[in-house]
Chains A and B, each alone.
Chain A
């Protein structure tokens, strides 16, 4: 910058030369130059930011890119709270099958639940006993109703005797389940070394099952939908267990995986038999005998040879009929 005339000097010169910069904080000349105009500031800031990002991401960080496929994810809990699953043998007496179906459907309708009635030959059992079909049936129900939270497997030998009792409120809400679950008890009675955990939280429970006199009774149990359920059902359904000839097929396989694998035991809540699986005739545990007011009346193994479910259950059907009318 040049002026035609030098600027006028003051007539009272200061005794000492003033410092160049009045402000005490020192700004390097490079920075001062940068701050002179707006575009420079912007460019400088952007460059600085880029440098910082580069420093941060030079070797660290992981990639996240577009997924290869787009599978819509349904939030668990957006559908019906409970799905009732019963595997029905196509060779059974159709009238009785109809009654069993109606028993579950009426209950489901009352509480806004859903039902799923597959047949065993829908699933690849590979010559294993048909009772194994309950495992893929549950997995199937989860595929069909991914929004539901709980999946209740109920054997065809069992009847829902208290249609007004809401399973979710009665047993499955975290507070209730914490109250009822039996902790620190042997998984297989009377004296298995493996005991249920004593510090479980109700909201972390993924499998609710009762124990009869002989062990875990997978004729009525509830599984919570989720990744754990897939793991549990697939592990249970492993061909290695199906071909192992466990004496009681899937129920011994279940006891086996529960006792050997901590990630399964940690999700298991054992509840009193009367809440989920009361027996009318069978090896019930203490207080497991069916009495008026229990949710379930089970006739275990009534579909085996020499027994007839329809006949055994007839008086109970009549009771239900009377309840409905009066």
Chain B
């Protein structure tokens, strides 16, 4: 834009008329002499006949001296070059920048306001949690994490300090995650619930607790069940982005893709309809009501997801059945998990609504589960791929749950350091390394000497 410098609002300033310190208003309108002000002034004179010194404050007394001693002086402006200060080139440039900024203050103000509001948005956790939670923007309130606590505890096994520590860590991890993304967290105490007084149906309670959660969070759509011995390694992944936005691409409906249980699929009985006989159901994302990962031994319900739907209602209703329980409770060591595997195989209505997730999407295993080496890229946690969650499945049988939990927590913290922390750690690492090298050199020298 070619534009001559425009006058200040109110017209050009005429040099000499408005000296900077007394131009209160823009165009000298502070000198409005009204009848009332004149009267007040004369009253003042009448009231105090004595001399009332003006300029009594320090600033007004010494104004001139201060202002003339400033490097940029408006006082000199009139004498030299007609209202244009010709001094140092640098200060001239600064002046021009300042003047341009002032000229563009309106548009710049808008930009500044936007930047400021972004900073405020991320600096106040409550605000962006609300944003991420809201159905309109983030949609975080559509997701609930159900965390089973106190598993395997109960009356028979008292929990030791390690178990408490594991639980505390696990809960803290999920709390932080759900808070960050605006999800809901439902912590379930598995030991206090039982349906029948004569039976200790612990860990069959999954069904009841999921139902309760569905009742408790009526706005939620997806429910993610998590066992205690799990740790979210990458809290920066949102469920939406990690899973639900690209369900079609990351899930497989046809179990033949990975079929450790050797379930014959699809069904071929002629009395079943086309959708039930199809390997992928109706193939639409909308018909997926359950997401489960498979480990080396079949379905794994340590971390799985259920969508609120009539289908899910029916599944939760039929899952526990006394006849099945009576016949199979000795055989079904993993309770719901085995029962669900059985139902998947024998009740055709279930298949078209179940989709499988690659295990490492939501349920990576540590070494020790499904192979001691921990080298199966389909099953085990891979640090370089930044897997989302680690499930220390089966650590209570002969492994050290607490040590695993601790190690993964440390690893997660290290992987998710912010740049400043990385920088600091990098420096300290550098010094440590050089120190080590020097030590080694010394040792070598000593060895040589010897």
Contact = CB atoms under 8 A, between A and B. Distances in A.
Interface of A: 17, 28-30, 55-56, 58-71, 73, 122-124, 136-137, 139-140, 142-143, 146, 227-228, 230-231, 234-235, 238-241, 243-244, 256-257, 260-264
B324 interface: yes
B245 A123 contact: no
A56 B314 CA distance: 34
Given A234-B350, A239-B346, 5 more contacts: A28-B110, A60-B138, A62-B247, A235-B349, A260-B321
B275 A62 contact: no
B155 to A, nearest CB: 27
B347 A235 contact: yes
A53 B272 CA distance: 43
Interface in B196-242: 238, 240-241
Given A30-B107, A137-B271, A62 B285 contact: yes
Given A30-B110, A230-B273, A262 B244 contact: no
A29 B282 CA distance: 55
Nearest to A233: B349
A69 B275 CA distance: 10
Interface of B: 10-11, 106-107, 110, 132, 135-140, 181, 238, 240-241, 244-249, 253, 269-276, 278, 280, 282-286, 310-311, 313-314, 317-318, 321-324, 327-328, 342-343, 346-350
A68 B107 contact: no
Contacts of A56: 136-137
Nearest to A136: B271
Contact of B285 (A63, A122, A234): A63
Given A30-B107, A142-B273, A261-B318, A241 B283 contact: no
A136 B269 contact: yes
Contacts of A28: 106-107, 110
Contacts of B347: 234-235, 238
Given A29-B106, A69-B278, A123 B247 contact: no
Contact of B313 (A64, A68, A244, A263): A263
A201 B125 CA distance: 48
Nearest to A244: B323
A193 to B, nearest CB: 14
B2 to A, nearest CB: 9
Given A62-B247, A122-B270, A69 B282 contact: yes
A71 B283 CA distance: 9
Contacts of B314: 228, 231, 263
Given A63-B246, A65-B285, A241-B323, A140 B271 contact: yes
A124 B270 CA distance: 10
B9 to A, nearest CB: 8
Nearest to A20: B9
Contacts of B283: 67-71
Contacts of A260: 321-322
A257 B347 CA distance: 14
B253 to A, nearest CB: 7
A69 B248 CA distance: 12
A241 B321 CA distance: 10
Contacts of A69: 278, 280, 282-283
B217 to A, nearest CB: 17
A283 B92 CA distance: 111
Given A59-B132, A139-B271, A261-B318, A68 B253 contact: yes
A60 B137 contact: yes
Contacts of A139: 271-273
A124 B318 CA distance: 22
A58 B136 CA distance: 11
A55 B137 contact: yes
Nearest to B222: A62
A206 to B, nearest CB: 12
Contacts of B241: 59
Contacts of B238: 59
Contacts of A61: 139, 240, 245
B429 to A, nearest CB: 34
Nearest to A142: B273
A71 B10 contact: no
B139 A67 contact: no
A64 to B, nearest CB: 6
A230 B248 contact: no
Nearest to B353: A227
5 contacts: A60-B136, A71-B283, A142-B273, A240-B321, A263-B314
A261 B282 contact: no
B272 A263 contact: no
A71 B280 CA distance: 10
B277 to A, nearest CB: 9
B107 A29 contact: yes
Contacts of B350: 234
A17 B26 CA distance: 13
A227 B285 contact: no
B284 A67 contact: yes
Contacts of B274: 71, 143
Given A17-B10, A256-B323, A124 B269 contact: yes
A60 B346 contact: no
Contacts of A256: 323
Nearest to A265: B317
A65 B253 CA distance: 15
Contact of B245 (A63, A227, A231, A244): A63
B74 to A, nearest CB: 24
A143 B272 contact: yes
Contacts of A58: 137-138
B381 to A, nearest CB: 25
Contacts of B181: 59
A120 B242 CA distance: 49
B317 A71 contact: no
A216 to B, nearest CB: 17
Contacts of A73: 282
B10 A230 contact: no
A61 B253 CA distance: 22
Contact of B11 (A17, A64, A123, A264): A17
Given A56-B137, A240-B346, A71 B271 contact: no
B78 to A, nearest CB: 24
Contacts of B247: 62-63
A128 B342 CA distance: 19
Contacts of A227: 310-311, 349
B133 to A, nearest CB: 10
Contact of B318 (A55, A71, A143, A235): A235
A71 B272 CA distance: 14
Contacts of B253: 68
Per CB-CB distance, the 9 closest pairs between chain A and chain B, nearest first, are: A68-B283, A60-B139, A140-B271, A67-B283, A69-B283, A230-B349, A136-B271, A234-B349, A143-B273
B240 A231 contact: no
